[in-house]
Amino acid sequence: MLGVIGGSGFYSFFGDDARRVSSDTPYGSPSAEITVGAVGGHEVAFLPRHGAAHEYSAHTVPYRANMWALRALGVRRILAPCAVGSLTPELPPGSVVVPDQLVDRTRGRVDTYFDDGGVHVEFADPYCPALRAAVTGLPDVVDGGTMVVIQGPRFSTRAESQWFAAAGFRLVNMTGYPESVLARELEMCYAAVALVTDLDAGVDVGAGVKAVDVFAEFQKNIEPFKNLVHQAIEQIDAERTCTHCLSHAGVQLPFELP
Q: Give the active site residues.
A: 198, 200
- Residue 186: exposed, middle, or buried by beta-carbon count in 10 A (0-12, 13-18, 19+)? buried
* Cα 7 off chain centre by: 7
Burial of 23 (0-12, 13-18, 19+ CB in 10 A): middle
Judge whether 244 is annotated as a binding position: no
Q: Is 50 annotated as a binding residue?
A: yes
User: What are the counts of helices (DSSP H) followed by strands (DSSP E) for the chain?
Assistant: 5, 11
Is 105 a known ligand-binding residue?
no
Nearest-angstrom CA–CA distance, 135 and 152: 27
CA quadruple 157, 180, 63, 53: dihedral sign: positive
**Does 24 appear as a known binding residue?**
no
Binding site annotation covers 200? yes
According to the annotation, is 91 in a ligand binding site? no
Known binding site for phosphate: residues? Answer: 8, 49-50, 175
Known binding site: residues? Answer: 8, 49-50, 174-175, 198-200
Known binding site for substrate: residues? Answer: 174, 198-200
